[in-house]
């Protein structure tokens, strides 16, 4: 019985390691969220603030402050990746990495009166992959 348990544990460990779990995303915790918000602010200031305003108040682009649209994780990922060219927003998929998109999305979703969860790079990667096929 003991050898069976050891064999089973070894097989389970091998399965976990080869399934990508060893390369899992950062924990969905407050420290990670705060780090993403901080770095997302840098990305936002570099790429988004000219149109959406430094405080998310809007300008040539819509206001993001207290905007219910940003609560939708997939909606924000799509908007950042693919833009809304009919409304003048360029796609940032060719410019930003998955991590940068996740960071700026997390920043937008948690600034100026918005309160939402973290966006992880894996979610962005999956969305890119879904649309490239």
CATH code where residue 36 lies: 1.10.760.10
> Is the per-residue pLDDT at 2 higher than 60?
no
Residue 127 lies in a domain: yes
Which three-class secondary structure state does DSSP give residue 84? Answer: strand
Residue 13 lies in a domain: no
Token pair 């070894």: residue: 10
Structural domain that includes position 32: 27-132
Residue 56 lies in a domain: yes
Residue 118 lies in a domain: yes
The overall average pLDDT reported for the chain is 84
* Domains identified in the chain, total number: 1
pTM of full prediction above 0.85: no
Rounded average pLDDT over 32-37: 96
Residue 1 lies in a domain: no
Residue 116 lies in a domain: yes
**Rg of the chain taking only CA atoms, in angstroms:** 19
Task: Report pLDDT for 86.
Answer: 85
Rounded average pLDDT over 55-70: 95
């Amino acid at each position: 019985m003991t050898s069976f348990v050891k064999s089973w544990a070894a097989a389970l460990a091998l399965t976990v390691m080869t399934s990508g779990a060893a390369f899992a995303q950062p924990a969905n915790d407050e420290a990670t969220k705060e780090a993403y918000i901080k770095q997302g602010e840098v990305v936002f200031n570099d790429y988004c603030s000219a149109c959406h305003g430094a405080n998310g108040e809007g300008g040539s682009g819509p206001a993001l402050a207290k905007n219910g649209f940003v609560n939708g994780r997939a909606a924000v990922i799509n908007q950042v990746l693919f833009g809304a060219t009919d409304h003048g927003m360029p796609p940032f998929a060719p410019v930003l990495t998955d991590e940068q998109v996740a960071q700026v999305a997390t920043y937008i979703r948690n600034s100026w009166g918005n309160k939402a969860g973290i966006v992880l790079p894996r979610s962005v990667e999956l969305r890119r992959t879904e649309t490239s096929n």
